[in-house]
């Protein structure tokens, strides 16, 4: 049977230090992966919020077009002063016809 040998304290310290460093790196990699996952989830949430805002904006544009069309049918073409509520009909000029 072979004789057992012992590491020196310096060698044991080096081994322990390497093991601790490796464990720290593994933990660091795990933390980085968690941060990446959270960032990707946040990005997906932002994309969903952006899409929702775009859809709502398009809906508002459609409602605006429908209101303008309805008001044009009722009052004719013109502008409205929202402060006074007055409708100002558009005056046709010759250059509008060209």
Q: Bridge partners of 19?
A: none
How many independent structural domains does the chain possess? 1
**Residue at 3 is within a domain:** no
pLDDT tens-digit series, residues 50-83: 999 999 999 999 999 999 999 999 989 999 888 9
Instruction: Find the Cα–Cα–Cα–Cα dihedral 36, 39, 40, 45, rounded to 10°.
Output: 160
Range of the domain at 71: 9-96
Q: What are phi and psi of 31, to 5 degrees?
A: -65, -40
Structural domain includes residue 2: no
Q: Are 81 and 88 in contact (CB under 8 A)?
A: yes
Domain annotation covers residue 1: no
C-beta neighbour count of 31 within 10 angstroms? 10
At residue 44's C-alpha, the angle toward residues 41 and 45, to 5°, is 85
Rounded to two decimals, the pTM is: 0.61
Cα 61 to chain centroid distance, Å, stands at: 22
Q: Is 4 within the bounds of a domain?
A: no
Phi, psi torsion values for 51, nearest 5 degrees: -60, -40
pLDDT digits (tens, 9 = 90+) for 4-42: 999 999 999 999 999 999 999 999 999 999 999 999 999
């Amino acid at each position: 049977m072979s004789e057992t040998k012992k590491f020196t304290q310096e060698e044991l310290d080096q081994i322990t230090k390497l093991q601790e460093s490796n464990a720290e790196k593994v933990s660091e990699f795990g933390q980085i992966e968690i941060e990446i996952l959270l960032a990707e989830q946040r990005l997906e949430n932002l994309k969903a919020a952006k899409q929702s805002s775009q859809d709502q904006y398009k809906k508002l544009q459609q409602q605006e077009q429908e209101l303008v069309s309805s008001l044009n049918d009722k009052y004719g073409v013109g502008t409205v002063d929202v402060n006074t509520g007055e409708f100002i009909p558009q005056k046709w000029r010759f250059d509008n016809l060209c």
